[in-house]
Amino acid sequence: MSADQSQPQDAPTHWRGILKHLGPGLIVTACIVGSGELIATPKVGADHGFSLLWFIIIGCIIKVFVQVELGRAAMVQGKTTLELMDSVPGPRFIVSWLIWCFVLMFIGVFFQLGGIVGGVGQVFAEGGINLSDRALAVFVALATAAILASGKYQHVERFSIVMVVLFVISTGYALYALQAMPAMEAYRITGDNIREGLSFKLPDNFGTAFAAFGMIGVGATELIYYPNWCLEKGYSRNVGPREDSEAWYARARGWLKVMRIDAWVSMVIYTSATVVFYLLGAALLRDTGVSDKGMILDLSNLFKPLGSSGWTIFLVGAFIVLFSTLVSGSASNARLLADTLVLYKLKPRPETDAERIRLVRGCCIFIPCTCAVLYVLVGAPVSMVLVGGVAQAIMLAPLAGAALWFRYKMTDRPLQPGLTWTVLLWVSALAMAAVGLYMAQDKIRKQFKPKPAVEKKASLEGNCFAKQPGFYQAPRPKTNL
């Protein structure tokens, strides 16, 4: 739905005014710091040690250029990302071919959120609530739907800010404790570890690393719904209806600057958090790894530096991280679901803000409940999260192409970026396309690879939907965690 553009105003130039208008990036950060950072990133560290630190950092930074370009087009045109994607030339059946690619990815995202619902359920189960993690997952989904029932931007933004602050404090303290506590000297991160991580060493198997690339930083879904939050924040409305005048271009340039600051501030936050989780995973999870049935117990080793209190602090921190992602992610994907229903003409296009809110509210209830059902059926949170990561990684290639199309065909010349930004945009788009194409061919190759006669245990690179054991009730940890 196009933004309401009835009250144009100039962008703030003082830092206090700019800070007041930040927010979309913090919502995206609250989405980012869950499945990618708490689950996928430590797993990459456990699998590859410190050697892929450079890959994690670049993965976070490089996608910001595509993120801003998508936001630029949405702000200038006053349309959501999916509306803009529907205008990309190519084959059409009801909607553009690019929307069909998005829908296929969106199915994987439901599994990813289902894994997060199950993760929160496992946190409650490990905290002593005497119910199965599946039953608790249903409760968590209903609580999420209740929180998001209003469908309003302000509620999601405030919730996200609180959760991001708590998250940064808990993870930063865990890293500090790892380096400061004498009992953790054997696990301490050294200068040699950091140098190894920045040596640009390539792994033998890119599967898990590229799946993580699809989620760390801004993944495909975050790239798509970030402009939606910018519209709801009012950036496009403040620019005003499009007109060929210097005053309009001046307003647009001012609000584009605010959006860029918003994107870069959030990038600093989630990149720092991602690096912390990667370092903790590389230092503390090399021996244990991260499994489906014992995900929470395995990940609790990240807070081993905190001693006997680490278990409690980890449960609180895991709840903050996973629940913030579940709430913010459900709210964000509800906007995409609403746009999808309208584009496929399954719902009439809302004509007023009240109609839009009602549609989004229904999607906010539908998404967490559906994800809970998926978790009850599958019950493998790590594999479910990585399914979403693979789907997002594959979507990066067409999304990168769309960003370049928007840059050259849908942005007024006075608002197009300069040479340096354009070069970095191309680098970002090509890197995203390379990862997407690699993941696509890798999955196709594995699909047609002859299967061994002996049934093997499901792995994260193999069949994520192989029959899983029943819900997991981990034993109580010892005090020397």
Yes or no: say if 121 and 134 are a contact pair by the CB < 8 Å rule.
Answer: yes
**Which residues does the chain have with pLDDT short of 70?**
1-6, 33-40, 150-157, 160, 164, 167, 202-218, 286-310, 439-440, 442-481
Single-letter residue type at 367:
I
* Angle made by CA atoms 468, 280, 161, in degrees to the nearest 5: 90
DSSP state of 130: -
Tokens of 277: 């989780």
Yes or no: say if 401 and 224 are a contact pair by the CB < 8 Å rule.
Answer: no
pLDDT at 453: 53
pLDDT at 425: 92
Residues in the chain: 481
pLDDT at 294: 56
Whole-model pTM? Answer: 0.76
Reported as a single tens digit per residue, the pLDDT across 346-396 is 999 988 888 888 888 889 889 999 989 988 888 777 778 778 777 877 888
CB-based contacts of 223: which residues, under 8 Å, 6+ apart? 63, 66, 67, 70, 81, 399
**Distance between CA atoms of 38 and 33, rounded to whole angstroms?**
7
pLDDT at 179: 81
Residue 290 Cα to chain centre, angstroms: 19
Q: Are strands 92-93 and 95-96 parallel, antiparallel or unpaired?
A: antiparallel
Reported as a single tens digit per residue, the pLDDT across 10-42 is 888 888 888 888 888 888 777 776 555 666 677
Backbone phi, then psi, for 93, in 5-degree steps?
-140, 100
Helix, strand, or coil (residue 341): helix
pLDDT at 344: 92
Helix, strand, or coil (residue 88): coil
pLDDT at 473: 38
**Distance between CA atoms of 324 and 267, rounded to whole angstroms?**
17
- Using CB atoms within 10 A of its CB, is residue 166 exposed (0-12), middle (13-18) or buried (19+)? middle
Yes or no: say if 86 and 77 are a contact pair by the CB < 8 Å rule.
Answer: no
Taking phi over 0 as left and psi of -120 to 50 as alpha, with beta for the rest, 379 belongs to left
Single-letter residue type at 25:
G
- Using CB atoms within 10 A of its CB, is residue 72 exposed (0-12), middle (13-18) or buried (19+)? buried
- Using CB atoms within 10 A of its CB, is residue 247 exposed (0-12), middle (13-18) or buried (19+)? exposed
pLDDT at 476: 42
pLDDT at 469: 38
For the chain, the distance separating the N- and C-terminal CA atoms, rounded to the nearest angstrom, is: 51
CB-based contacts of 126: which residues, under 8 Å, 6+ apart? 296, 297, 300, 315, 474
